[in-house]
Amino acid sequence: MLTTIAGRTVHVNDEGFLTEYGEWDEDVAAELAGDIGVTLGEEHLEVIRFVRDDFAAEGVTPTLRRISTVGGVPLKRLFVLFPKKPAKKIAYVAGVPKPVGCV
């Protein structure tokens, strides 16, 4: 399905997650974050960049545990940066698939 985000036409699924990795940029991320009530700062972007890089390398959206242990961001901090369902919100803003097991 096509939609417009940050003035660009992008592909999304029925939940609004981007389906084309290459259509993402930080302007798209900022608009997606705003849609879920998050204002992106540098700390948010560091998490998002890690998630995108890890997804590109591993082919699967990283879990919160992986973001914490490999990405070096304490789990509690992820809940502060992306309150209520941080794994789902991080994936949404990062333009990667919803993590397995997320409702």
**What tens digit of pLDDT does each residue of 41-82 get?**
999 999 999 999 999 999 999 999 999 999 999 999 999 999
- Name the average pLDDT for the chain: 95
pLDDT at 99: 83
| The residue to which tokens 């939609």 are assigned | 3
Instruction: Tell me: pLDDT of 30 over 60.
Output: yes
Write down the pTM of the prediction.
0.94
Catalytic residue among 6, 36, 45, 102: 102
User: pLDDT category, 101, cuts 50, 70, 90?
Assistant: low
What digits encode the pLDDT tens for the residues 84-100? 999 999 999 999 998 87
User: pLDDT category, 102, cuts 50, 70, 90?
Assistant: low
The residues, any chain, with a CB within 8 Å of residue 40's CB and separated by 6 or more, are 26, 29, 30, 33, 48, 93
The neighbour count for residue 97, using CB atoms within 10 Å, is: 18
96 is catalytic: no
Please say whether the dihedral angle defined by the alpha carbons of residues 22, 28, 33 and 30, taken in this order, is positive or negative. Answer: positive
Contact between 38 and 85 under an 8 Å Cβ cutoff? The reply is: no
